[in-house]
Amino acid sequence: MNTPKIKRRVGKYEVGRTIGEGTFAKVKFARNSETGEPVALKILDKDKVLKHKMAEQIKREVATMKLIKHPNVVRLDEVMGSKTKIYIVLEFVTGGELFDKIVNHGRMREDEARKYFQQLINAVDYCHSRGVYHRDLKPENLLLDASGNLKVSDFGLSALSQQVQADGLLHTACGTPNYVAPEVLQDHGYDGATADLWSCGVILFVLLAVWHVQISCADYTCPAWLSFSVRKLITRILDPNPMTRITISEILEDEWFKKNYRPPVFNEKEDTNLDDVEAVFKDSEEHHVTEKTEEQPVAMNAFELISMSKGLNLGNLFDEEFKRETRFTSKCPANEIINKIEQAAKPLGFDVRKKNYKMRLENVKAGRKGNLNVATEVFQVAPSLHMVEVRKAKGDTLEFHKFYKNLSTSLEDVVWKTEDDMQAK
């Protein structure tokens, strides 16, 4: 059996599927070919960075993140640059988002929520002490490792915006509406530390109550099942006045917070080399990382299949529990799969852009949250078996569900069905 070739390599990293994307960056699964270690590779477009005058800020934040080695913050290993891209190599965390745990299992008991909240406060406190503010804390940015420990992702990288100004305050409104502090939305400047703390309070409330409502100016009601001590703590965190809002040092002394509290134990004295951070923006060939691309579907190895097995149903095309992405398998050739998706998407009102074995589908009509963008990619699992990922890149999740139901009808002959599936019909 021929071993499928890796489609793309950046330096010593073999690059796989896309696992997330935002306005300025895309995140891909990758593997260190020297050690075999899986990593998350964050890719930024250099032109966009320079156009938005973010080069110095990214340099500063990446350098700071390299120095932050905390057990509850996703580790940043190294930074690389090519002529057109910046590559940030991050720890690959396998336990999924805390958000999914809430969606799948509902509200948490206080003991469980306390454990995650303690780890969140530990991470936030450590980063604030080094002048790093997140400004977009929410359950989707909180990951879980294989042992169930919380890891804050994108700390210092998610909010690529203006730095602290002469008045000592931040002035760019950023973050997610449901979790953003009221003072951030006002045009008077805000303190990054107290704004992050508000978001921590909303996260604690959501863990315990699972109410996805916008909490602004303390307009919320604590459910009756919460203990008096946690209600008191939430009230002090969700104080709309940042000047009187509880501080982290006060949280660490809080009666509810202190129960079963274990301060993190870790070694922060490791030597950190920052040469790569400086080299990224030097426009000389000697500092550029080698990039290689081959026009074949990305090979999906066993580790990646296991890491995504929670959401992978090889037998069914449509998984009713999927939220922002879903996958199916096919025994059709990769080119045929791409053509079938294109033929199915165009009558549904989508423009189609193709690049090798990836497609971007964009609805020409704007929906509730702008134009729905759908990313698809074909991966090779074995010479005669492909896996197809269909993921919402932008737009409304409900519109994505509707689109996928329509798409699934057109792709019935493409999807690999097991004997059990055939008998079920």
**Domains with residue ranges and CATH for the chain:** 8-92 (3.30.200.20), 98-258 (1.10.510.10), 298-424 (3.30.310.80)
Give the global pTM: 0.66
Q: Which residues are tagged catalytic?
A: 136
The token pair that represents 178 in the structure block: 């449901």
The token pair that represents 310 in the structure block: 């929670």
| Pairing, β 325-330 against β 38-45 | unpaired
Collapsing DSSP to helix, strand or coil, 352 comes out as strand
Q: Which residues of the chain have pLDDT under 70?
A: 1-7, 22-23, 156-178, 185-190, 211-220, 268-271, 281-287, 293-323, 417-425
Binding-site residue positions? 42
Instruction: List, in sequence order, the alpha helices (H) in 129-169.
Output: none
Any residues with CB less than 8 A from the CB of 337 and at least 6 apart, and which? Answer: 330, 378, 386, 388, 414
Share of the chain above pLDDT 70, in %: 76
**Strands of 265-398, DSSP E:** 291-293, 298-299, 325-330, 350-355, 358-367, 370-382, 385-394
d(CA 339, CA 333): 10
Burial class (CB in 10 A: 0-12, 13-18, 19+), 188: exposed
Nearest residue to 338 (alpha-carbon basis) of 358, 317, 318: 358
First to last CA, the chain: 34
pLDDT digits (tens, 9 = 90+) for 181-199: 777 766 666 677 898 999 9
Is residue 408 within 8 Å of 318, Cβ to Cβ? yes
Binding-site residue positions for ATP? 42
How confident is the model at residue 383, as a pLDDT?
Answer: 73
d(CA 390, CA 222): 38
Collapsing DSSP to helix, strand or coil, 423 comes out as helix
